[in-house]
Structure 1
Amino acid sequence: MSGTVPQHVDAHVVPCRGPGDLSGVQALVEAGTLDPRHIVAVMGKTEGNGCVNDHTRDFAAMAWCHYLAPHRGCTPQAVHAQVALVMSGGTEGVLSPHFTVFTRRAALPHEVVEGEKRLVVGIAHTRDFAPEEMGRQAQIAATAEAVQAAMRDAGIDSAADVHFVQVKCPLLTSAKVDDALGRGQDTVTRDTYESMGYSRAASALGVGVALGEIDPARATDAAVLHDLSLHSARASVSAGIELEGNVVIVLGEAAGSASPLRIGHALMRDAVDTAGLRTLLREHFGLDPEADAALIAQRLVNLLAKAEASPDGRVREARHTMLNDSDIHSTRHARAAVGAVLASVVGRTALYVSGGAEHQGPPGGGPVAALVRVA
């Protein structure tokens, strides 16, 4: 669908019993609530460890490909080019596994909302990256180009109307490192887990460059994971073993959209910061978290957020131990903490909280976006 065509975009949050369970999706399809031909993006939270060997992400993506293929008249492998599948592992604490399914179709003339901005969505893919390109300038530049392509796909003219950019990026495995070394190339790191941070970081810098938040001249190899003053307020990046290039989903608002949804974003300054979200709900959606709990339960579709353990080892001047735990990685602690904090505001646990926020919001904090149905 061209970005010039008025869009009707909707979103459904579907619980699952496991990463391959699409029975809830099938029920919506059979009820006529969801048309699989209109699915353009899926953001899933799966119950794996979120680490290099988290194959729940690949399992979930494969299940979606096999489910959608007959509905779209293509092979399962071809689904990836038509639908942006982003599976984020890790539902620690109170977080509940689920899929957020975005549909997009051409709007009918009577559906278009004049003079008001509503939700639009656009998707794009980068080329596949060589192992030695991950975490470096090549990934930054390619991501920036893909974000701009997704904005065009969404029909968004101004970066100010972009509220959340979800990226799924690849990581290094030992086989990929060996391949690069065998060709006389060196990778940004030889530690496979550390490569997830580098890939997320480079991708986030690319988002910031595309949205005008970061000076391209400063988004260099040397800046990745080192210049923490560079960050995007709207980037969310998840790394996984199931792909070789970046998948980009741009969520924003545009005039002429026929969507029954709106989206807005705020920043969490640290892992326990709810002020930005509360202000967002009040000022962007007219919902008071204290007085309008029933309305929030009725109209909120999902919160999309990033989480990380503050790299200086402190939260509001108090020491935390997340970075010192040799049994459980800090990304898992951070997801559990931020998931509980956000759930306490909106009274819901099926929230999309992704760990590892390198260059995604200020150090120790991260972006949060709310998808809300219009009254």
Structure 2
Amino acid sequence: MPVAKVHRISAASPDDVSGIETAIASGRIDPKGVIAVLGKTEGNGLVNDYARGYAALALKLMFERYLGAELAAKICLVMSGGTEGGMSPHWTVFERAEGEGAERPALALGRAHTAALPAEHLGRLPQADMVAEAVHAAMRDARIDDPAAVHFVQVKCPLLTVARTAEAEARGAAVATKDTLKSMNLSRAASALGVALALGEVDRGKLSDAQIGNDWSIWSGRASCSAGIELLDHEVVVMGMSPAWSGSLSIDHAVMTDAIDIEPVRAALSRLGLNSGGQLNSSQRGRLTAVLAKAEASHDGRLRGNRHTMLDDSDISSTRHARAFVCGALAGLIGHAEIYVSGGAEHQGPDGGGPVALIVNRQAE
């Protein structure tokens, strides 16, 4: 029976895989069971954030030493750039092992890769459909039958560069935008709606290209999408609960309605057995294996009635402001800042808010 293992490992730089290698050497991680690595890397998180590719390359080369190129290529490497504020760079390693855990249902993990996305499909319904199909494939891989049992779907999606746009136009195809930065927004938006389609949160018959990246009334409460220059396809990781899995790990999720809405997160922690009227104590923090979140500056420029300037800053992207802000809000609740906060939450939670997933060890150490 499959058992999920999740390891959160600090990183000293985008290429610092020494902590993972130490865990492999000690037998704590079996590289043959690793299905995905989510990385928070320092960088700007924008089109030219090559730290993501640098980190992915370091991980790829490391896993190739243990597994060979073919098996290493199956691992989803989801690098999210930008550790603004006090957010701490780190890796979250997801591993599937075999055994007989103490409890069922338990955390279940699945993954899928898509084909390369034609540039003209980015930010449009064909991209959403491609992602929806991959989510269903990852659910089958995780042995999760009920969409309601899915608590978080992490998607790494591509973006447009000038060269990719030129290639499409040479074929006579028109892209959704020639603005490379806006292409990140549209790719995340279409991918998020693909998750929503797969999980039954959105009706495909009522969805149009015009709504993608524009209609903030439609969203997924479980999608987390990160765009990057380092890939042309999509990498999809599904996390949920399944009776086909056993073990000590459990997952739940919350949806923040705005950037300081921590009470739904506190409620999810309580459902997972971490009851706290304030900040988690050291024992509770030890059981909290991973926190995965999305962050977005609200498009109306307001936060609970007051003006914010995240969208007016010409020097720093609003995604960078939002990541730091949400990480700080969550860190105040959790008690540390080694939190995976990904910026750009188009259709990922309500406008200005976002989904948060929490993975907890049900057995106190």
- 2:32 pairs with one of 28, 34, 37: 37
Q: For 1:247-298, what per-residue CA distance to the aligned partner results, in whole angstroms no more than 9, with x for missing partners? A: 0000001114223211000000100110100111112324325275223211
Are 1:79 and 2:67 an aligned pair? Answer: no
The partner residue of 1:215 within 191, 200, 203 is 203
Partner deviation per Cα, 1:350-375 (whole Å, 9 max, x = no partner) = 10000000000000000001011112
Query: Unaligned 5+ residue runs, structure 1?
Result: 1-5
Residues 229/295 of structure 1: CA separation in 2 closer, same or farther (3 Å cut): same
Partner of 2:13: 18
Instruction: Within 5 Å, give how 1:169-248 maps onto structure 2.
Output: 169-248=157-236
Give the counterpart letter for 1:261 in structure 2.
L
Show CA shifts across 1:156-189 (max 9, x none): 0101110000000000001111112222211100
- Measured in 2, the distance between the counterparts of 1:300 and 1:269 equals 22
> Deviating runs (4+, > 6 A) in structure 1?
none
Q: 2:125 aligns with which of 119, 137, 144?
A: 137
Question: Over the residues paired in the alignment, what is the CA RMSD in angstroms?
Answer: 1.3
Residues 1:147 and 2:135 are matched in the alignment: yes
Offset at residue 79 of structure 1 (A): 2.2
Q: 1:315-326 alignment to 2 at 5 Å? A: 315-326=303-314
Is 1:99 the counterpart of 2:91 in the alignment? Answer: yes
* Aligned 8 A contact 1:126 1:247 in 2: yes
Give the match for residue 257 of structure 1: 245
Secondary structure, in 3 states, of the residue corresponding to 1:200?
A: helix
Q: Quick one: distance in 2 between partners of 1:224 and 1:278?
A: 31
- TM-score normalized by structure 1? 0.94
Indicate the percent of aligned positions where both proteins have the same amino acid.
49
1:122 aligned partner? 110
1:56 aligns with 2:57: no
Secondary structure (helix, strand or coil) at the match of 1:336 reads helix
Provide, for residues 108-165 of structure 1, a one-character-per-residue CA deviation record: whole Å limited to 9, x for no partner: xxx2446x32101000011101111111111100100000000000010101110000
Instruction: For 2:124 and 2:244, locate their aligned partners in 1 and report how far apart those are by CA, in whole Å.
Output: 38
- Which digits, 9 at most, give the CA deviation of each residue in 1:200-223, with x for residues without a partner? 000000000000001111232111
How many residues align structurally? 363
Instruction: Classify the secondary structure of the residue corresponding to 2:299.
Output: coil
Supply the distance in 2 between the matched residues of 1:113 and 1:25 (Cα, whole angstroms).
26
Q: Mean Cα displacement is larger for which, 200-209 or 219-228?
A: 219-228
* 2:339 aligned with 1:351: yes
1:3 maps to none
